[in-house]
Amino acid sequence: MALKEMRKENELTPSELAIRAQISLGHLKKIEKGERDLSLKLAARIAKVLGCSIKDLY
């Protein structure tokens, strides 16, 4: 499932996810739009916040 869908499923705004995953809001938005790649390190932090596996984000 795509990152944006996972975020919405967890009822988080982009700002909330960015704060919890300790990344900038701009970077998160670019990842969600497909303008930036999701690094493994960042995927691990986001997966922890969303309560999913890293694999689910790709």
- Tens digits of residue pLDDT in 1-57: 589 999 999 999 999 999 999 999 999 999 999 999 999 999 999 999 999 999 998
Place of tokens 């300790």: 22
- Residue 56 and residue 2: Cα distance in Å, rounded? 8
CATH number of 3-53: 1.10.260.40
User: What is the number of residues in the chain?
Assistant: 58
Q: Is 44 left (phi over 0), alpha (psi -120 to 50) or beta?
A: alpha
pLDDT number for residue 1: 57
Judge whether 57 and 38 are in contact, CB under 8 Å: yes
pLDDT of residue 58: 84
